[in-house]
Structure 1
Amino acid sequence: MSILTGTEHADTQSDPWPAPTAARPVVAVVPVPGAKSGTNRALVLAALASGESRLRGALRSRDTLLMAGVLRALGAEVDTDGVDWTVRPARSTRLAAGARADCGNAGTVARFTPALATLREGDIVFDGDTRMRDRPLTPLLGALRRLGADIDSDRMPFTVHGHGGLPGGEVEVDASNSSQLISGLLLAGPRYDAGVTVVHHGSRLPSGPYLDMTVADLRAAGATVDVDPPAAGGTRRFRVAPGELLAGEKVIEPDLNSATAFLAAAVATGGRVVVPSWPDVTEQPGRMLPALLAAMGASTERTERGLAVTGGGTIHGIDVDLSDFGEAAPVLTALAALASSPSRLRGIGHLRLHETDRLAALAEELGRLGARITVTDDGLAIDPAPLHGGRLDPRSDHRLAMAYAVVGLVVPGVEVDDIATTGKTVPDFPRMWSAMLADQSDQADR
């Protein structure tokens, strides 16, 4: 499957992908590619570093190639041809005439790179897929203006008029809809004249582990970062001191978010799936996955190979707050639709603002199969119901397409439009999915 790198995904009116139904419990070892979140943070920090950096295990997907493309537009040299990627910072502060940044529908690209553009001299136009024009950017762009940036609009397409740097200082931002808004300010913070102090005022920050990842990656690159404990009313304060970022080698962890669908295959079919090289310690929110799958009736264990998940035969419903791990919500919704008891997924109201409105899409599309899913103020309520086949539209959302594949393992006749959208984070997903079903080897028990 080719990786789509244009501004729109494939025509959803083409022939749908027939989701394979498992003839027996899935037993397989499934290596997953590198983490999108880790790859894109590493790319940004390498573009700001003092010399050449090497990324080992980088994810080659639509989102990461878009990030590499924007960094090139900002003057960095990014070589993605080999297994290992190399990045050299821009040799000049001056942007090329007519510079453009294509962000696609990638939140990390749209929110991490405008701050970098303020460090250059010249104009660069930011734009992306139609959906990206509706995703939250106003708080970020407003905060950059208050730090001294010259940006002409709050929505895509917008132009950053770079003047070779920012004064920096303290700025308030409401990041209640996306923690990426804060990460986008912190990652470039060491290059601001006075560094940056970001103060979040608003409701609880969603996807907190991703902020932990940003802080950890900054510190690993040599930055000085201080984080205050949460204050009354949900206020958070992050400080990044000005200073040089170190070049070097970065090993990208496997993408635990993308592993979710493959491990869910074991739960759905009563089989056993091993994901190799599962990290012992990680900032990725996927570290919560074993406990979540165990609550749904599976057993999990760490083996010499990695994380092994074995389905229990019956899927239990769950009542859980997923505010720190919203990326798992689509696949957990798929499992909940197959469960023997009701489920309640909470703390994920912010998913309305992702690649699509994930809450409405899951309820409407899985409802076509007979699922009983109600959208609540902060999530989804799922009640058991018999399911049947049908054609589903992932609405250009990679996580939804993977969730529908999980349902198709046990519900014959599920067809998924635009399966190529999975290339956003999992290159060649259909091949990997079929290979998992064909494995059935004893390797999963080693």
Structure 2
Amino acid sequence: MTEPLPWLAPHRTSPFVGEVLVPGSKSLTNRALILAALGDGPSTLTRPLGSRDTQLMTAALTALGATVERDGMTWTVSPIARGGSEPVTVDCGLAGTVMRFVPLLAALGSAPVTFDGDEHARRRPMATTIASLRSLGVEVDDDGRDALPFTVMADGGVRGGEISIDASSSSQFVSALLLIAPLLPLGIDLRHTGAVLPSLPHIEMTVAELRRRGVRVETPEPGRWVVHPGPIDALDVEIEPDLSNAGVFIAGALVTGGSVRVRSWPEHTDQAGDAWSRIVPAFGGTVERDGDDLVFSAGGTLDGIDLDLHDVGELTPVVAAMAALAGGPSHLRGVAHLRGHETDRLAALVAEIRRLGGDADETDDGLVIRPRPLHGATFRTYDDHRMAHAAVVLGLRVPDLLVENVVTTIKTYPNFAPVWERLMTSG
């Protein structure tokens, strides 16, 4: 297949001032889809995200026996029909929530389910998913790879109980077990045994969504979750806007000295992207609530920062792009786990910032970025949507910056490129 031509990122010489309403949260959409598929009746999702990741999730759940009926911005999900015994194959693409959540759902069935994905997906850490399945007594055929592809040999006999895992490379390993726990006869008493957990807000989101559906979840101590067995109530939900995806527009406003109104920003949320309200002031900007919206504005200068992004690692690529344009050096900490994301994001960010003439180095757990004059070049995305977001932010200040495969943004934001181009070339 022919690779698309690199895309010329919009460049601005004036401040960007505008407003955006970003599509629904991918993290919330995929959790809501799974819990609806495991629920005790049909559930309706309003304003879910329609992107590659959520399409992969709906296809996976449909393969396992759920039904998803779409009517514009409303999706109705009927639970998985039990009793199927035919082998099926699930395409994970490059979606972490599919490759790590759905194998645990497959373990509840009674048929072999094979999982595979994109080329990059075969390099993502999966050992903990496979170990979790085996700890539950499920046979997994992976030819010793601890990676995709593999087959879950479900026999309907999973009971649950006490289980310990090392989820230090991804919080998704914890969420995967929590999501199926209510349907296990013994529930789950789960302990994390490794280093400090990354992306804790995503686990808190999973717990909150379970509790909204009547599931009893206890957190008796840090790194331990006790989920009691019982039904998962059907629930009609409206999906919040994806605050992580809002970050690229917030960064666009700050690096150009402008401002952006992000519509319908929740007052209370478990999304990692809510951290933008703390990151922007660190760069010297301001954040104000105006009714249902948040308004992010640049300060007099774009300051260098020293931030621990351990809990919100997915924001790192866009933060790094801002740091490369700041007036002083920046240190991003606590994100060693990004080496196992869609690509090794730390190595990729260093390589691409340097490709533009910048000065960046990896540390044990993050990045050091020292601003230097940048020049145009082709910015590689490594099929990673967050790398593409970093690229377009840099392009606002760096003329002649070409983005390789900007279409990879469909993973979580359909039509991102034309939306960005329209906003950034107006005014």
TM category, shorter: over 0.9
Report Cα offsets for 1:84-138 as digits up to 9, x if no partner. 111101223214x341110011101111111111111111111111111121111
Of the candidates 118, 131, 137, which is equivalent to residue 142 of structure 1?
131
Q: Superposition pairs for residues 164-203 of structure 1, below 5 Å? A: 164-203=156-195
Following the alignment from structure 2 to structure 1, what is the Cα–Cα distance between the partners of residues 71 and 138?
A: 34
User: 103-112 or 159-168, which moves further after superposition?
Assistant: 159-168
TM-score (norm 1): 0.93
SS at match of 1:307: strand
Paired amino acid for 1:182: V
Of the candidates 231, 253, 259, which is equivalent to residue 244 of structure 1?
231
- The residue aligned with 1:220 is 212
Q: Superposition pairs for residues 23-422 of structure 1, below 5 Å? A: 23-95=13-85, 97-153=86-142, 154-230=146-222, 236-422=223-409
> Does the Cα contact within 8 Å between 1:349 and 1:379 map onto a contact in 2?
yes
> Does the Cα contact within 8 Å between 2:182 and 2:230 map onto a contact in 1?
yes
> Does the Cα contact within 8 Å between 2:213 and 2:232 map onto a contact in 1?
yes
Paired amino acid for 1:61: S
Following the alignment from structure 2 to structure 1, what is the Cα–Cα distance between the partners of residues 31 and 318?
A: 25
> Does the Cα contact within 8 Å between 2:60 and 2:90 map onto a contact in 1?
yes
Following the alignment from structure 1 to structure 2, what is the Cα–Cα distance between the partners of residues 77 and 32?
A: 27
SS at match of 2:221: coil
SS at match of 1:339: coil
Paired amino acid for 1:383: R
User: 398-407 or 164-173, which moves further after superposition?
Assistant: 164-173
Paired amino acid for 1:47: A
Following the alignment from structure 1 to structure 2, what is the Cα–Cα distance between the partners of residues 305 and 119?
A: 41
TM-score (norm 2): 0.97
Of the candidates 10, 18, 27, which is equivalent to residue 8 of structure 2?
18
Following the alignment from structure 1 to structure 2, what is the Cα–Cα distance between the partners of residues 313 and 16?
A: 33
- The residue aligned with 1:233 is none
Question: Percent identical across equivalent pairs?
Answer: 48
Paired amino acid for 1:152: D
> Does the Cα contact within 8 Å between 2:10 and 2:425 map onto a contact in 1?
no
> Does the Cα contact within 8 Å between 2:357 and 2:373 map onto a contact in 1?
yes
> Does the Cα contact within 8 Å between 1:93 and 1:164 map onto a contact in 2?
no
> Does the Cα contact within 8 Å between 1:55 and 1:84 map onto a contact in 2?
yes
> Does the Cα contact within 8 Å between 1:147 and 1:170 map onto a contact in 2?
no
Paired amino acid for 1:64: T
Deviation at 1:189, TM superposition (A): 0.4
SS at match of 1:312: coil
Report Cα offsets for 1:126-177 as digits up to 9, x if no partner. 1111111121111122122111212222321111112124111111100000
User: 152-161 or 430-439, which moves further after superposition?
Assistant: 430-439
Following the alignment from structure 2 to structure 1, what is the Cα–Cα distance between the partners of residues 210 and 87?
A: 31
Paired amino acid for 2:359: R
> Does the Cα contact within 8 Å between 2:266 and 2:292 map onto a contact in 1?
no
Deviation at 1:293, TM superposition (A): 0.9
Following the alignment from structure 2 to structure 1, what is the Cα–Cα distance between the partners of residues 37 and 303?
A: 46
Paired amino acid for 2:127: T
> Does the Cα contact within 8 Å between 1:93 and 1:119 map onto a contact in 2?
no
Deviation at 1:435, TM superposition (A): 2.5
- Matched pairs, number: 424
SS at match of 1:121: coil
> Unaligned regions of 5+ residues in structure 1, if any?
1-9, 231-235, 441-446
RMSD: 1.2
> Does the Cα contact within 8 Å between 1:47 and 1:90 map onto a contact in 2?
yes
> Does the Cα contact within 8 Å between 1:77 and 1:90 map onto a contact in 2?
yes
> Does the Cα contact within 8 Å between 2:87 and 2:111 map onto a contact in 1?
no
Of the candidates 432, 436, 439, which is equivalent to residue 419 of structure 2?
432
SS at match of 2:121: helix
SS at match of 1:309: strand
Paired amino acid for 2:31: R
